[in-house]
Amino acid sequence: MLNRALEWQIATVAAIRTETARTKTFTLSLPAWVRHLPGQHYDLRLTAQDGYQAQRSYSIASEPEREGEIDLTVESLPGGEVSGYLHDVLVPGDRLEVRGPIGGYFVWEVSRGGPLLLVAGGSGVVPLMSMLRHRRAVGSRVPARLLYSSRTPEDVIYADELMGLQDGGDGLEVIHSYTRSQPAGWTGYARRIDADMLKEIYRPLGGKTQVFICGPTLLVEAAADGLVAAGLAPGRIKTERFGPSGGSA
Amino acid sequence: MGERFVSRGFVGKRQMSAPGGRLPPGQHGVADFPVLSAGPTPRTPLEKWTFSIEGEVERPVRWSWEEFQGLPAQDFTVDIHCVTKWTKLDTRWRGVSVDTLLEHVQLDPKAGFVMAYCDGGYTTNLPLPDLLNGQAFVAYGYDGRPLAPEHGGPARLVVPHLYFWKSAKWVRGMRLMEQDKRGFWESAGYHHRGDPWKEERYAGD
Phi, psi of B195 (to 5 degrees): -85, 115
Give the integer Cα–Cα distance in Å for B51 and B48: 10
Instruction: Please state, for a pLDDT cut of 70, what percent of chain A lies above it.
Output: 95
Which range is least confidently modeled, A109-118, A127-136, A172-181, B24-33?
B24-33
Q: Is A147 on the interface with B (CB under 8 A)?
A: no
* Chain B residue whose CA is closest to A86: B10
pLDDT at B191: 94
Helix (H) / strand (E) element for A55: namely: strand A53-59
Q: Before A78, cis peptide (omega within 30)?
A: no
Indicate left, alpha or beta for B141 from its phi (over 0: left) and psi (-120 to 50: alpha): beta
A224 SS3 class: helix
CATH number for the domain harbouring residue B146: 3.90.420.10
On the question of pLDDT at A245 being above 50, the answer is no
Neighbours of B145 (CB within 10 A): 11
- Give the residue-averaged pLDDT of A198-202: 93
**pLDDT per residue as tens, chain B (205 positions):** 457 899 999 998 876 555 668 899 989 888 888 888 889 999 999 999 999 999 999 999 999 999 999 999 999 999 999 998 899 999 999 999 999 999 999 999 999 999 999 999 999 999 999 999 999 999 999 999 999 999 999 999 999 999 999 999 999 999 999 999 999 999 988 999 999 999 999 998 9
CA angle B49, B50, B52 (to 5 degrees): 155
pLDDT at B2: 55
Q: Is B150 on the interface with A (CB under 8 A)?
A: yes
Residues of chain B in contact with residue A57, where contact means CB-CB under 8 angstroms, are: 84-85
Task: Kindly give, in sequence order, each residue whose CB lies less than 8 Å from that of residue A184, ignoring residues fewer than 6 positions away.
Answer: none
Task: Kindly give, in sequence order, each residue whose CB lies less than 8 Å from that of residue A148, ignoring residues fewer than 6 positions away.
Answer: A119, A120, A125, A156, A162, A174, A175, A176, A177
What residue ranges of chain A are covered by domains with CATH 3.40.50.80? 110-242
Q: Is B48 on the interface with A (CB under 8 A)?
A: no
pLDDT at A242: 67
On the question of pLDDT at A1 being above 60, the answer is no
Helix (H) / strand (E) element for B171: namely: strand B171-177
Residue B30 counted as domain residue:
no
Give the sign of the dihedral formed by CA A76, CA A119, CA A212, CA B36.
positive
Residue B162 counted as domain residue:
yes
CA dihedral A102, A98, B33, A152 (to 10 degrees): -90
A123 SS3 class: helix
Mean pLDDT of chain A: 93
Residue B36 counted as domain residue:
no
A9-102 topology per CATH? Elongation Factor Tu (Ef-tu); domain 3 (2.40.30)
CA distance B14 to chain A (A): 8
Helix (H) / strand (E) element for A216: namely: strand A210-216
pLDDT at A247: 27
**HSE toward the beta carbon, residue B84, CA cutoff 13 A:** 17
B77: nearest Cα among B139, B32, B154, B15: B139
Residues of chain B in contact with residue A45, where contact means CB-CB under 8 angstroms, are: 26
The burial class, CB within 10 Å (0-12 / 13-18 / 19+), for B6 is middle
Instruction: Please state, for a pLDDT cut of 90, what percent of chain A lies above it.
Output: 86
Q: Decide: A135 and A45 in contact? Cβ < 8 Å.
A: no
pLDDT at A202: 93
Chain B 161-180, residues with CB within 8 Å of chain A CB atoms: none
Residue B25 counted as domain residue:
no
Could you report the per-residue pLDDT of A132-158, keeping only the tens digit for each? 999 999 999 999 999 999 999 999 999
pLDDT at A14: 98
Residues of chain A in contact with residue B6, where contact means CB-CB under 8 angstroms, are: 47-49
Say yes or no for a CB contact (<8 Å) between B203 and A1. yes
What residue ranges of chain A are covered by domains with CATH 2.40.30.10? 9-102
CB nearest A55 (choices: B26, B151, B204): B26
Q: Decide: B54 and B102 in contact? Cβ < 8 Å.
A: no
The burial class, CB within 10 Å (0-12 / 13-18 / 19+), for A46 is buried
Residue B37 counted as domain residue:
no
* Chain B residue whose CA is closest to A80: B13
Could you report the per-residue pLDDT of A209-240, keeping only the tens digit for each? 999 999 998 899 999 999 999 899 999 999 99
CA distance B193 to chain A (A): 13
- Domain range A110-242, CATH architecture: 3-Layer(aba) Sandwich (3.40)
Q: What is the ipTM of this complex?
A: 0.85
CA distance A117 to chain B (A): 14
CB nearest B205 (choices: A5, A81, A225): A5
Residue B3 counted as domain residue:
no
* Chain B residue whose CA is closest to A228: B40
Give the integer Cα–Cα distance in Å for B143 and B65: 20
Could you report the per-residue pLDDT of A30-75, keeping only the tens digit for each? 999 999 999 999 999 999 999 889 999 999 999 999 999 999 999 9
Q: Decide: B1 and A44 in contact? Cβ < 8 Å.
A: no
Give the integer Cα–Cα distance in Å for A13 and A26: 7
Q: Decide: B162 and B138 in contact? Cβ < 8 Å.
A: no
Give the integer Cα–Cα distance in Å for A14 and B192: 35
B174: nearest Cα among B120, B71, B102, B110: B102
pLDDT at B18: 54
Total domains in chain B come to 1
